[in-house]
A and B are shown apart, each in its own frame.
Chain A
């Protein structure tokens, strides 16, 4: 009983003491967290929501954070778990508002006008769209492994820690994920693939 009381008291104290440390770590990692969240969700507003959710969870369980491992690995694990939860929630609640429909039951959806953007921005957006479609067509585990390796540039050992699996499994997931993505890009956006091929050579 005394142990429980001490633990609760420590948590109440820790919330006060470690907030500054948490804020500092948050400032250092939020860009990385956002890029990971963006690649996972494929949408800026959803990525922002995911990042907020992940940081709130991280702060709530900050007293459990093991200082011997990098904060980013711990945070990415939270981001990926929060994303899995969000995907599950979304599968359950796939709703659409009928308020925006017309009298005849038709519905209008706002779409960005590509012609209003500069060429460079259009090209970049196309790459992002094609890449995102390729990533979204992948199995969640392959997608996460590829994103952590190629977007975040993490080592396989760190990825294994984040995904709670072995290095061998990570190696296999990354390889199969890349092959799937290559096949997808070659079939849906061969021009883009060729462009990158030329750039590399």
Chain B
């Protein structure tokens, strides 16, 4: 080993963090190299300075620390239980909604459909007047071909005048 390699491994050598063969190689180099020995000594001093005792904490720090952790525990516990209950509640609500949707689906699926009656031409004719009324309400425009008198009659009819007591023409028009 040369000085360059040894100098890179001196801290690890000082901390005994090298393999056995590396330790032996460095030890033999240190035996013949005063420069590397001096470097090792300076690293030892630096390590020693670092290990100087730190000032102690303020009195009562241990108790204050325990108190802080205890209060953090209480808060954390309350939060954990709150989270547990809120999650449980959400799950329960989701289950109830899901069950409701499923029951509705089953109900709709198993309800028999109403039979469709065939439509006769006479019933279609009977339904015509009402369609005519709707047409009058929706399109009272002059381009529908009705005259001013006819429009007046329509309005009277639609304003709630008794169709039986009103003019016959209005009823006739409405039933057209």
Contacts and interface: CB of A to CB of B under 8 A. Distances in A.
Task: Give the interface size bracket for A toward B.
Answer: 35 or more
Contact of B80 (A11, A26, A127, A146): A11
B145 interface: no
B150 to A, nearest CB: 70
B66 interface: yes
A161 to B, nearest CB: 14
A171 B12 contact: yes
B20 to A, nearest CB: 16
B69 A59 contact: yes
B80 A15 contact: yes
Main secondary structure of the interface of B (DSSP, over half): helix
Contacts of B64: 52
B69 A22 contact: yes
A131 B50 contact: yes
A167 B81 CA distance: 42
B62 A55 contact: no
B65 A127 contact: no
B164 interface: no
Nearest to A146: B50
Interface string B135-158: 000000000000000000000000
Contacts of A192: 49
Interface size class of B (residues with CB under 8 A): 35 or more
Interface in A1-45: 1, 4-5, 8-9, 11-12, 15-16, 19, 22-23, 26-27, 30, 34-35, 38-39, 44-45
B54 A39 contact: yes
B60 to A, nearest CB: 11
Interface string B37-78: 000011111111111111111100110111011001100110
Contacts of B132: none
B128 to A, nearest CB: 60
B91 A5 contact: yes
B69 A56 contact: yes
A45 to B, nearest CB: 8
14 contacts: A8-B87, A9-B84, A12-B84, A15-B77, A23-B66, A30-B65, A34-B61, A44-B55, A48-B61, A150-B51, A172-B8, A175-B10, A185-B49, A199-B48
Interface of A: 1, 4-5, 8-9, 11-12, 15-16, 19, 22-23, 26-27, 30, 34-35, 38-39, 44-45, 47-48, 51-52, 55-56, 59-60, 124, 127-128, 131, 146-147, 149-151, 153, 155-156, 167, 171-172, 174-175, 178-179, 181-182, 185, 192-193, 196-197, 199-200
Interface of B: 8-12, 15, 17, 41-58, 61-62, 64-66, 68-69, 72-73, 76-77, 80-81, 83-84, 87-88, 91
